[in-house]
Amino acid sequence: MSRGPARVLTVLAFVVALLAFAGPASAHVGGEAAGSDFDGRIVSVTPELPGVTVRILQFGDELELVNDSGTEVLVPGYSDEPYLRIGPEGVWRNANSPATYLNLDRYGRAAMPEGVDPEAEPAWEQVSTQPEYVWHDHRTHWMSEGVLPPRVAEDPTREHVVSEWLVPLRQGSTEAEVAGVLTWSPPPSPWAVWPVVAALVLVAVAAGLVARTPRLLGGLLVLGAGAALWHALATPEPSVTAGSHAGAVVSALMPALAAVLCAVLGVRAALRGRGVMTGLLAVVTGWLLLVQGLPDVDVLWTANVASGGPQVLGRIAVTLLATLGVGLVVGGVAAARRFREADAPAAGTREARAPGGDARLDGRTGR
């Protein structure tokens, strides 16, 4: 095996090892949905509760409460019955509260056991030893799957306030309310998205299929590696039950750093005019970009983006990952085949000359 393919195989083995170590978290930096036309946000917690942090997740789909105080927080259910107790000893959930079962599913489709009654004496069951909990609170999001809110359906061309919601809390003897708002925004126009997608794919394919040198392919490797790095560093903070933000970023960085390594080697090969090597590394890099970009591709047709940085940069990064991923895989294969075929005649000519030279030598020696 020649040194070029051997190096690519070594890089590929390294990449596979990194992805295996990183696990599924690295493939999807958003954790769940990466984009949505809905967006929920908390406006206020009144009065403020010392040591208590409340956060909205997944565009309003989930509510997170962390209680670092020494006083238990009670979260009522939808009929004002006791639902959750979150305190120093962990989280306790009332098995007689309808909210216990309704909140197990995003759309409240979980089966309700017989005998569940909000008026019954609470039956507390411990569900966590940590003072933190994440649940689907149906006051914070739109509940009808596949159906737009009436005011949105009437005019889907502009932003709408879908609802203003309140979630009551009680810390000791202090009554509080978490106030928030759920909005809907129109998604980007397909005419502003798909022409860009098509153009980027075609440029990457053309870089391998018709470009005279591998340098354009090398430049696209740099662009893709930059998008991979930004996408990893802008990993949104996950829920407390899913792990730490630093851990999520490190996990997402592993395939991104592998893409950077492949891009560096690919650019080096391109600058030296090694088209076959550049093409092979483009295939590996494109695959890495797809691993990171495809799970978040819904941001291309939704209004809001789950990102730890500016939403526009998050959308651009995913666009580059998905489009260059496809283009580099196809263009890389084309480049490897085309440049190998271009090198073949020269190699054949050199080999053809050697036997003739030997024949002349044999003639002179009388053999």
The pLDDT value recorded for residue 137 is 95
Residue 300's pLDDT band, with cuts at 50, 70 and 90, is: very high
Token pair recorded at residue 341: 């075929």
Q: How large is the average pLDDT for residues 217-236?
A: 96
How far is it, in rounded angstroms, from Cα 108 to Cα 80? 17
Would you say residue 272 has pLDDT above 90? yes
Beta-carbon contacts of residue 284 (< 8 Å; ≥ 6 apart): 8, 11, 12, 15, 262, 332
Mean pLDDT, residues 141-154: 94
Q: What is the distance between the alpha carbons of residues 41 and 232, in angstroms, rounded to a whole number?
A: 24
For the chain, what percent of residues have pLDDT higher than 90? Answer: 77
* Domain regions of the chain by residue span: 3-33+188-352, 38-184
Mean of the per-residue pLDDT values of the chain: 87
Q: pLDDT tier at 318 (50, 70, 90 boundaries)? A: very high
The predicted structure's pLDDT at residue 93: 98
Residues 323-341: what's their mean pLDDT?
Answer: 93
Query: What pLDDT score was predicted for residue 12?
Result: 56
Would you state the pLDDT for residue 7? Answer: 55
Those residues whose C-beta lies under 8 Å from the C-beta of residue 29, and which sit 6 or more positions away, are 231, 232, 234, 235, 236, 248, 252, 292, 296
Distance between start and end Cα atoms, the chain: 35
pLDDT in tens, 91-127: 999 999 999 999 999 999 989 999 899 999 999 999 9
Q: Is the pLDDT of residue 30 over 60?
A: no
Give the CB-side neighbour count of residue 185, counting CA atoms within 13 A. Answer: 14
- pLDDT for residue 25: 41
